[in-house]
Structure 1
C-alpha cells in the first residue's frame, strides 16, 4: 500500500461520503447480479416443492417464463440494496468511530473491546439502513413469489402496493427484516474484521507493507468466510420475511402472522432454501468487500480490517 498521504482525510465528511458511495457501489450491483438465485430461493421458501434444485429451477423458469423472468425483481433489488449499502457501510464507519471515541476512554480500551464495538456499530447502521430498504424489499418479494409476477417493475409495484395497503404495506415486513438483517450484518462485519485480523496476523508481511491488491485479496477471502456464517445466522428470519410479505393478511398483527405461519411450516421449514442462500450470500459478501475495499483503495483510503 502506498504510504503517500491520503487525498481524503480520515473521519471527515468527505471520508464518510466516500464510504457511503463505496457501499452503494458494493451492494447495488452485487445483489442485482444474483437476482436469479434470489428468485429461486424466495420461491422455494414459499413452496419448497416448486423446484428440485437451483439448476432445475433456472431451467424451468427459462422454459416456461423466458430469460427475462430470471431477473424478476431486479429493479427493486438494485434500488433497495443500493440504499441499504449506503446506510450500512457509511453508517458502520460513522458509528464505529463514534462508539470507539465516546464509549471508551482511550485507544487501548477501544482495541480491547473492539468486538463489542464492531457488533454495536453494525447493528446501529443496519437498523437505519433497513428503513430505506424495506419498501423495495416488500415489492421485490411480492413480485418474485407470485406467478405470474404481481407487477412488472418498481413503479408499478409501488403504485399497486400503495393503492391497496397505503404506507403500511411497505413496512409490514420491517420487524422480520430487522430480525434477518441486523444479526446478518453484525455477523458480516464483526466476523469479517476478526477473520481478516487473523489472516494478517499469520502472514509473513505486515499489512502496511502489502500492496493494495494483496490487501484486497485478503478482504475477498475474509468476506467469503464471513458470508457463510452470515447466511446460516440470518436464514430463519429470511424465510419469515419472504412469507410475511407474501402471506400476511391486511390488518393482521405481526405476532399473529408469525404464529400462524410458523405453526404451518414448523422449525424445519425455517431452513428451506439454505444451500441456495449460502451460495448466494457467500458470493455476495466476498464480492461486496472486494468492491468496497477496491473503491476505498482507488480514492486513496486504507482498506478495511
Structure 2
C-alpha cells in the first residue's frame, strides 16, 4: 500500500512541533507491515514552526551547521591553495601554479588535506553563527522597541551578527588551528586524529586558541558584513528588481534571491576580512609569533592583497551557497526564507490627526 503522504521525512520531531501543531502521525504501514522508523510528515503551508519558538531556533541552528559545514568542506581544495599561497608565496605564486604544485607533490589527496577539521569546525561555527544571529536579532529588536528597531535595523543586524560570531569563533578555533597546520605544514599530521593531540602535547590546550584573536578579527567583520549586506541586498532586490512581492514569489524564486544576496554579500565579506585571514594563517604556522611580527614580516600590501582574488571567488561562491542551503532548509521545515522588505510599525504609518479649529 502506498504511503498516504509521499513527502514523509525522518527529521527529528523537534523541528516540526510547536504550539498549535498536530502531533506527528504514527508510522504508516507499508505493504501490510508497520515501518520500524517513525515517519514525520514533511511541512506544508498548514504545518509551520512558530517564529521565534525554541523549535525555530533549533531549526536555524541545524540549518546553519549544514550550510557552513558542507560548503566549507566542498571548498577545501581552494582553501588549501589559498593558505599555502599566504604562507609560502615564493613557492605558490598563483592559483593555477598552486594547484599544480600541490597535485604534483601530494596527488589528489593533497588538495583535500584537512577536510575533517574543516567539516567539524565550520559545522560548529555555523550552528552558533546562524542560530545565535536569529536569537540576538530578535533580542535586540525587542530591547529597542518596534519603532527604533525599524529605524535602526542596520544596527540591529550589526549587533546581532557581532554577538553571534563572537561565540561561533570559540567553537571554530581549535579545528581551524588543526586545519591550517595540516594544510600548510608538510609532514605535520595526516588529519584531525593525529594533528589535534600533536598540538595539545606540544603547546597544551592553549595552543588550539593561539589564533582566536585574529580569528575574531577575521570572522567578526566578515559576519557583520555577511548578514547586514545580505539583509540589505535582499530587501533592495525585492524592492527594485523582483517584479512582485516576496509572498507572491515561488520558493525557487525566493531561493534565487537568497543566492544573489549571498554572493554579493560574500564579495564584501572577503574584502573586509582578508587581512585578518592572512594573519590567522601566518600565526598558526609560526610558533610564538605575535600579530605585530606577522604584519612586519608580511608587509601591509601583502597583508591586504596576498591571495585576495582567489578568496573573493571562494567567499562569494561560499556565501551564496550557504544562504541557499540555509534558506532551503528553512523552507523544508516550514519556515520563510530570510530577509525581505521591512514593514514600518503602525505608529510610523498612521497619519497624525489634523488639528481641530
In the superposition, the TM-score normalised over structure 1's length comes to: 0.94
Deviations 1:5-61 (A, max 9, x none): 442111011000000000011010100011111011111111112223222221222
Q: Which has the higher contact order (CA 8 A, sep 6+)?
A: 1
Whether 1:96 aligns to 2:129 is no
Whether 1:230 aligns to 2:263 is no
Instruction: Report the 3-state secondary structure (helix = DSSP H, G, I; strand = E; otherwise coil) of the residue aligned with 2:51.
Output: coil
Cα shift at 1:109: 2.2
Higher helix share: 1
Question: Aligned in 2, Cα 1:96/1:5: closer, same or farther, shift over 3 Å?
Answer: farther
Taking the TM superposition and a 5 Å limit, the aligned residue runs for 1:134-149 are 134-148=173-187
Give distance in 2, aligned partners of 1:232 and 1:201.
26
Q: Which has the larger radius of gyration?
A: 2
Whether 1:24 aligns to 2:65 is yes
Paired residue for 2:17? none
Unpaired segments ≥5 residues, structure 2: 1-42, 340-357
Give distance in 1, aligned partners of 2:148 and 2:297.
48
Cα shift at 1:248: 3.2
Q: 1:291 aligns with which of 296, 300, 325?
A: 325
- For the 8 Å contact 1:6–1:301, the answer to whether it is kept is no
Paired residue for 1:264? 297
Whether 1:205 aligns to 2:244 is yes
Taking the TM superposition and a 5 Å limit, the aligned residue runs for 1:245-284 are 245-249=284-288, 257-270=290-303, 271-284=305-318
Unpaired segments ≥5 residues, structure 1: none
- For the 8 Å contact 2:85–2:94, the answer to whether it is kept is no
Q: 2:154 aligns with which of 99, 104, 115?
A: 115
Paired residue for 2:232? 194
Instruction: Report the 3-state secondary structure (helix = DSSP H, G, I; strand = E; otherwise coil) of the residue aligned with 1:188.
Output: helix
In the superposition, the TM-score normalised over structure 2's length comes to: 0.81
Instruction: Report the 3-state secondary structure (helix = DSSP H, G, I; strand = E; otherwise coil) of the residue aligned with 2:60.
Output: helix
- For the 8 Å contact 2:85–2:93, the answer to whether it is kept is no
Aligned residue pairs, count = 295
CA RMSD of aligned residues (A): 1.3
Instruction: Report the 3-state secondary structure (helix = DSSP H, G, I; strand = E; otherwise coil) of the residue aligned with 2:284.
Output: helix
